[in-house]
Amino acid sequence: MRVLAFAIYIFVYCSAGAQNRSLLYMVTGNNLPDTSYIFGTMHTGDVRVIQKALRVLPYLSRCNMFAPEIDIHDKLDMNVILRLMMGKGYSIKSMLPEREYRFLDSLIYQQVGMPAAVFDNVAPVVLLSIVEAAVLVFGDSADLHEPLDLYLTNIARRENKKVIGLETIEEQLLVLNTLTYQEQADLLIREIAAIQQNNFRTHDLLQHYLNENLDEINRLENSDSLPEKFYDALVTQRNKRMTGKIISLIKKGSVFVAVGALHLPGKEGVLTMLEERGFNVQAIPPPE
């Protein structure tokens, strides 16, 4: 469960495909005009992740289009922000236990330079995105880099590729806004509790990502025991929308797709959905 709000990334996620150990996949067949590629990303600036991604740059250079989850240059419409306001009678502070709210307040201030009170009437999903950005964007390494998504987007733009987001910021936020405010607050409380308990989940995900150990990544994500309704909103529905957009793009030419790797594996993952639509999806394993 990784989301995006205001100008702060998420993450969202890591894992990749249903085909053993690889983060990179080739998509062919089904009368496509050219070969396209899908790369599972991790939304972090950890320099080890950036180094891991260097092997995909030649494949990116071969393509005419670059399709990240979102185009980071998209602006968030003010009307969407207004739709994310909870309205009269709602308060983030009243929805969270005191201990978790104090922790949230310090984390929000550290991340955006403003107290949590500024966001008191904003839908909890917005604060969830800020919390997750604080945990994931810079990983656990002392060596920091621009986040992987931004790194790849900047390369694509320097190579004059057309950049087309698979989702808009509005779509990422509003799909979560289908949950009730209390359900969103419950997700926020879960995330805060995980950080406070220091359960090393993020560290483990990072290590599995660096090893391109997709089975372990998928197992770790599945062990998160996220309620079905939440998982459906956070992952499954977005997978369906992104798969549809990927298909529409690869029918037009060669595309390098870069999405949070959690969206790739599983029966309702992007890779399986592409295969079910008649495309050939083949892993490109990392060098020995």
Q: Which residues of 164-188 are buried (b: 16+ CB within 10 A; e: fewer)?
A: bbbbbbbbbbebbbebebebbbbbb
The single-letter code of the amino acid at 75 is K
Which residues lie below 8 Å from residue 186, measured CB to CB, with a gap of 6+?
Answer: none
What tokens were used for 275? 């295969």
Confidence band for 144, pLDDT divided at 50, 70 and 90: low
Q: Given the structure tokens 């929000």, which residue do they identify?
A: 108
Does residue 86 carry a pLDDT above 50?
Answer: yes
Q: Given the structure tokens 């009269």, which residue do they identify?
A: 88
pLDDT, tens only, 236-288: 889 999 999 999 999 999 999 999 888 888 888 899 999 999 999 999 998 86
Tell whether 5 is covered by a domain.
Answer: no
Tell whether 70 is covered by a domain.
Answer: yes
Does residue 175 carry a pLDDT above 90?
Answer: no
**Cα–Cα distance measured from residue 41 to residue 206, given in angstroms and rounded to the nearest whole number:** 11
**Is 58 exposed, middle or buried (CB count within 10 Å of its CB: 0-12, 13-18, 19+)?**
exposed
**φ, ψ (nearest 5 deg) of residue 77:** -65, 135
Tell whether 63 is covered by a domain.
Answer: yes
Tell whether 269 is covered by a domain.
Answer: yes
Please state, rounded to an integer, the average pLDDT across all residues of the chain.
Answer: 82
Confidence band for 10, pLDDT divided at 50, 70 and 90: very low
Q: Whole-prediction pTM value?
A: 0.79
Tell whether 116 is covered by a domain.
Answer: no
Q: Would you mind telling me the total number of residues written for the chain in this entry? A: 288
Tell whether 243 is covered by a domain.
Answer: yes
Tell whether 175 is covered by a domain.
Answer: yes
Number of domains in the chain: 1
Q: Given the structure tokens 């030419």, which residue do they identify?
A: 253
- Of all residues in the chain, the percent with pLDDT exceeding 70 is 79
Does residue 5 carry a pLDDT above 50?
Answer: no
Q: Which domain holds residue 216?
A: 24-87+137-179+200-283
Helices 169-176 & 237-250, crossing angle to 10 degrees? 160
Residue 101: predicted pLDDT: 94
Tell whether 48 is covered by a domain.
Answer: yes
What tokens were used for 60? 């990116």
